[in-house]
Amino acid sequence: NFSFGYSLVYPSPVLPKLTSPDADPRLRMDPNQAAWFGSIYSLGAAAGGLGAMLLNDLIGRKMSIMMSAVPSTAGYTLMGGAVNLSMLHGGRFLTGVAGGMTAASIPVYISEISHKKVRGALGSCPQITAVFGTLTLYALGLVVPWRWLAVAGSVPAVLMVVLLVFMPSSPRRLLSLGQEQKAEKALRWLRGSNYNTSIELNAIQHSINTQVKITWAQLGKPIYYRPILISVGMRFLQQMTGITPILVYLEPIFAKSNVSLEPRYDAAIVGAVRLFSVAVAASLMDKAGRKALLYTSSMLMFLSSLTLTMISHTTPCPAVNITAPNSELGNTLQASQDTALSFVPLISTVVFIFGYAMGWGPITWLLMSEVLPLVARGVASGLCVTVSWVTAFALTHAFTLLVDAYGLYAPYLMFTVVCVFCLLFNAVCIPETRKRSLEEIENYFRTGRTFTIRQNHPSVVSS
């Protein structure tokens, strides 16, 4: 996920260099080519999500994550040695494929190896490491040439493969394959030598025994369609808040906003704030609950995007009468006012990122892995990631076109409206899953009213 966060925002410090008149003529980008360079990552992530739908259940979550290192390393190699635009776009697409694969596999893997009391905090770790990767990219972008940024990006992918060799497979997957001894060994490795694994293994085995292969007809039952629709809805709304285009085009956005600081320093500040806010969310996830953080997140994003909408819809300021006796004082006041207002876009963007990273960033990933039906989790998580990144592609590609045609006002207004829908969706559709096991959450969707599991329940799937 460090690599995912790093690769997602790669264009932020790179595009200003590739669109400048001093760029290599073979690599110089016009606005349309720059839009494709920023957005094609999302197409790759959608393709990676589709691939993960098959790989998650075919080779397992752990191996799917390890496989993502192949397109990641290949993509960075292409961009680092690019001699034409096709290599840049191809490399960007491949790093997107790797991002989509990990986005669909890592949350599921973490949810299946985590104890329910710390699953919220551990479920935030992918977002924390992704944000740390983003911050690292912004920081390196201040001093490192863009080709070396690509070279540096391939290091985490290789390191990930080496470290994952020492991690166990998911006990749930091992039990589903009938490998009870390996499952017990994996769970003991995860929980410690003094942990009584029999209770948790029996609960997992009971869940597996009562599941059957899902069919299209069964998708009409609430136990399946409700959590899938909630997960897809969360992933769609998360992207429609505008987080991907804002992160991808952060430096160009600040350049258009006339912020006093250099855009590259503004981007580094936002990255640092985002890392802090995700760490705060991780500490509160299992204390305050998912829904409370989502409400807070939606309100902060709404207020900041509304502010950005108003300040980007500029109107001419009243002219200062230079013939008036106090014209010098008027000019001084006007200059100080302009300086103060120039920081409003930076502050508002920081608040937006802070709000997103406290709720709609990490919690949508966590809830997706918690509420999806256990029997269809691998396929359904791939579907959610695909929907998410197709939405991100359309929005990221349209963002630059909207800004060129109408200015920043148009996309910011749309993001403000979406934040209202996020509030309503959280109030009506999302259940509180804090300190609930995966089996209890599934029972909630089965019964529609309770998390409590009765072991003598007549027929878990066919009822």
pTM: 0.71
Closest CA to 366 of 454, 430, 455: 430
Kindly state the helix (H) or strand (E) to which residue 204 belongs, with its residue range.
helix 197-209
- Whether the per-residue pLDDT at 454 is higher than 60: the answer is no
Span 18-46, average pLDDT: 87
**How sure is the predictor about 458, in pLDDT bands with cuts at 50, 70 and 90?**
very low
* Structure-model confidence comparison of residues 220 and 170, the more confident one: 170
Span 197-216, average pLDDT: 77
Tokens of 222: 């609430």
**How sure is the predictor about 460, in pLDDT bands with cuts at 50, 70 and 90?**
very low
Alpha-carbon span 310 to 355, nearest angstrom: 19
List CB contacts of 346: < 8 A, sequence separation 6 or more: 254, 257, 259, 261, 266, 269, 270
What percent of the chain has pLDDT above 90?
22
DSSP single-letter state for residue 210: T
Tokens of 71: 């397109």
**How sure is the predictor about 259, in pLDDT bands with cuts at 50, 70 and 90?**
low
b or e along 234-255 (b: 16 or more beta carbons within 10 Å of the residue's beta carbon)?
A: bbbbbbbbbbbbbbbbbbbbbe
Q: How far is CA 373 from CA 25, 115, 365, in A?
A: 51, 18, 15
Place of tokens 């770790």: 125
Span 179-196, average pLDDT: 89
C-beta separation of 36 from 397 below 8 A: yes
- Whether the per-residue pLDDT at 94 is higher than 90: the answer is yes
Alpha-carbon span 252 to 216, nearest angstrom: 46
Q: Which domains does the chain have, with CATH numbers?
A: 1-171 (1.20.1250.20), 216-316+341-454 (1.20.1250.20)
Tell me the per-residue pLDDT of 318-371, one tens digit each, with 9 for 90 and over: 443 433 445 454 444 444 445 556 678 888 888 898 888 888 887 887 787 778
Tell me the per-residue pLDDT of 138-150, one tens digit each, with 9 for 90 and over: 888 888 888 999 9
Alpha-carbon span 413 to 235, nearest angstrom: 20
Q: How far is CA 179 from CA 114, 148, 387, in A?
A: 19, 45, 34
Tell me the average pLDDT of the chain.
81
**How sure is the predictor about 457, in pLDDT bands with cuts at 50, 70 and 90?**
very low
Span 216-233, average pLDDT: 79
* Structure-model confidence comparison of residues 404 and 266, the more confident one: 404
* Structure-model confidence comparison of residues 415 and 375, the more confident one: 415
Place of tokens 């691998």: 378
Closest CA to 35 of 402, 312, 385, 308: 402
Which range has the worst mean pLDDT, 158-162, 170-174, 256-260? 256-260
Maximum alpha-carbon separation in the chain: 90
Tell me the per-residue pLDDT of 376-421, one tens digit each, with 9 for 90 and over: 766 777 678 788 888 988 898 888 888 888 888 889 999 999 999 9
What percent of the chain has pLDDT above 70?
84
* Structure-model confidence comparison of residues 426 and 380, the more confident one: 426
List CB contacts of 360: < 8 A, sequence separation 6 or more: 234, 237, 238, 241, 243, 294, 297, 298, 301, 422
- Whether the per-residue pLDDT at 88 is higher than 90: the answer is yes
List CB contacts of 382: < 8 A, sequence separation 6 or more: 49, 50, 51, 52, 53, 54, 56, 104
**How sure is the predictor about 42, in pLDDT bands with cuts at 50, 70 and 90?**
confident
Q: What is the pLDDT of residue 75?
A: 95
Of 150-164, 285-299, 326-340, 446-460, which has the strongest mean pLDDT?
150-164
Q: How far is CA 94 from CA 77, 84, 192, 246, 449, in A?
A: 10, 16, 38, 21, 44
Tell me the per-residue pLDDT of 273-298, one tens digit each, with 9 for 90 and over: 777 877 777 777 667 778 888 999 99
Alpha-carbon span 258 to 306, nearest angstrom: 18
Of 81-95, 111-125, 132-146, 176-190, which has the strongest mean pLDDT?
81-95
